[in-house]
Structure 1
Amino acid sequence: MLLETHGLTANYGQFRALFGVDIAVAEGECIAIIGANGAGKSTLMRSITGVIRNEPGMVLHRGTPIGALSSAEIMKRGIAMVPEGRRLFPSLTVEENLLIGGQARQVPGPWSLESIYGLFPILRERRKNSGTALSGGQQQMVAIGRALMSNPELLLCDEISLGLAPVVIRDIYAVLPRIREGGAAIVVVEQDIGKALAVADRVYCMMEGRVTLVAKPADVTREAIHAAYFGEAA
């Protein structure tokens, strides 16, 4: 497996947010993590990327324990994050925001400024604009492009559709197959169940810091998702 978590726990002070979470991502795979607000989805992403430190063996990258590594060390291993809320640098242009992603991990791969502009042509037009002067959808494109500039083998996308218009969400999701063609595995954290099921090879549902369902989209029923999402039968 490219990435695994084993009995992953996470705390915010005295509050425990994750309770023994096990997930696995194979090379080139797309998995979706769904669940209501407060289910622990973003905490899981922060734990994988080193924002929240863990016991080393709780997170494995290609079999190597990385749970105690820093965010910078984890990114250098090829795990990149598109954070919730985008978090662009307001003092930098679109192009400068993208270039920062390339500085984080300088390795050969399919993604460069030119290939990012090919993926999102509007960013070439706006490359001299401040990153935060764009529309929400365009800012999300910059955030995705910045992460891709490190040529990751695993791309984590935390709520990439949040607050965006349906037509923009469609365009954002349309590029995920192209990203996979470049060799990256993808983890999509999403509240829109339909979007998640449409792109994923497997789906994990979380509730109150625990995994309540693991299934292939074709095998899961509406009733099973409802029960896993809310803890009750439909």
Structure 2
Amino acid sequence: MLLETRALTAGYGQFRALFGVDVAIDTGECIAIIGANGAGKSTLMRSISGVLRNEPGMVVHRGEPIGALSSAAVMKRGIAMVPEGRKLFPSLTVEENLLIGGQSRKAAGPWDLGAIYDLFPVLKERRHSPGTALSGGQQQMVAIGRALMSNPELLLCDEISLGLAPVVIRDIYAALPKIRAGGAAIVVVEQDIGKALAVADRVYCMMEGRVTLAARASEISREAIHAAYFGEAA
């Protein structure tokens, strides 16, 4: 298994957001984490990426405990996150933002500036523009490209469609199969259930900090999702 969380409990100060969460991601796989606002999805991503530190054995990468590592150390292991809200460097151009991601490069791989520009051609056209001068969708493409520049084996995507126009969401989701073809496993945090089911091999549903459903995307029913999402029968 590429990565697992084992009875992961996490939170902020005295507030607990996750209670004994178990998820697993295999090499080259795409999984989706769905759930309403406040379900704990982003806290899960922050715990895996090292933004939140936990007990070492609560997050395991290739058999090694990494739950207590810093985000920089986690990235060096080949785990990169596209954060909710994009968080570009406002003083840098598009290309400079992308190059920042390359400074954390784990190893040689398929992703460099040329490959990112092939994936998102509009970024090549806007490469000398300030990152924050772009549309929300274009900024999201920069955030994805910045993470890919480290050539990760696991890409964590936290709410990548949030607040974007449908046509932009379509273009971003069209890039995910190409990213997988480059060898990366992907975790997608998504509130749009249809989008999640369309790209994922497996789906985890969360509610109030717990996993309420884990199933293969091809086998899951709308009734089961409804019950897991809202905690009641359809």
- TM-score (structure 2 length as normaliser): 0.99
Once residues 100 and 193 of structure 2 are traced to their aligned partners in structure 1, the CA distance between those partners, rounded to angstroms, is 32
- 1:1-20 → structure 2 map (5 Å cutoff): 1-20=1-20
Q: Which residue of 2 aligns with 1:102?
A: 102
Secondary structure, aligned partner of 2:162: coil
Please say if 1:222 is aligned against 2:222: yes
Q: Which residue of 2 aligns with 1:195?
A: 195
- Report the CA distance between 1:14 and its aligned residue: 1.0
Q: Which residue of 1 aligns with 2:212?
A: 212
- Report the CA distance between 1:104 and its aligned residue: 1.5
Aligned AA (2:140)? Q
Q: Which residue of 1 aligns with 2:90?
A: 90
Query: Per-residue CA shift, 1:23-50, capped at 9, x if unaligned?
Result: 0000000000000000000000000011
Q: Which residue of 1 aligns with 2:140?
A: 140
Q: Which residue of 1 aligns with 2:32?
A: 32
Q: Which residue of 2 aligns with 1:149?
A: 149
Aligned AA (1:95)? E
Aligned AA (1:96)? E
Between 98-107 and 183-192, report the one with greater CA deviation: 98-107
Query: Per-residue CA shift, 1:65-104, capped at 9, x if unaligned?
Result: 0000000000000000000000000000000000000001
Once residues 229 and 15 of structure 2 are traced to their aligned partners in structure 1, the CA distance between those partners, rounded to angstroms, is 21
Once residues 218 and 201 of structure 1 are traced to their aligned partners in structure 2, the CA distance between those partners, rounded to angstroms, is 7
Aligned AA (1:78)? G
Q: Which residue of 1 aligns with 2:76?
A: 76
Aligned AA (1:69)? L
- 1:105-120 → structure 2 map (5 Å cutoff): 105-120=105-120
Query: Per-residue CA shift, 1:144-179, capped at 9, x if unaligned?
Result: 000000000000000000000001000000000000
Once residues 15 and 118 of structure 1 are traced to their aligned partners in structure 2, the CA distance between those partners, rounded to angstroms, is 43
- Report the CA distance between 1:219 and its aligned residue: 1.0
Once residues 81 and 51 of structure 1 are traced to their aligned partners in structure 2, the CA distance between those partners, rounded to angstroms, is 10
- Report the CA distance between 1:106 and its aligned residue: 4.8
Q: Which residue of 2 aligns with 1:47?
A: 47
Once residues 7 and 114 of structure 1 are traced to their aligned partners in structure 2, the CA distance between those partners, rounded to angstroms, is 41
Once residues 93 and 232 of structure 2 are traced to their aligned partners in structure 1, the CA distance between those partners, rounded to angstroms, is 48
Aligned residues: 234
Aligned AA (2:110)? P
- Report the CA distance between 1:105 and its aligned residue: 2.1
Identity %: 84
- TM-score (structure 1 length as normaliser): 0.99
- Report the CA distance between 1:11 and its aligned residue: 1.9
Once residues 215 and 79 of structure 1 are traced to their aligned partners in structure 2, the CA distance between those partners, rounded to angstroms, is 24
Aligned AA (2:130)? S
- Report the CA distance between 1:13 and its aligned residue: 1.1
Secondary structure, aligned partner of 2:169: helix
Once residues 6 and 129 of structure 1 are traced to their aligned partners in structure 2, the CA distance between those partners, rounded to angstroms, is 43
Q: Which residue of 2 aligns with 1:182?
A: 182
Runs of 4+ in 1 over 6 A off after TM superposition: none
Once residues 217 and 8 of structure 1 are traced to their aligned partners in structure 2, the CA distance between those partners, rounded to angstroms, is 23
Secondary structure, aligned partner of 2:128: coil
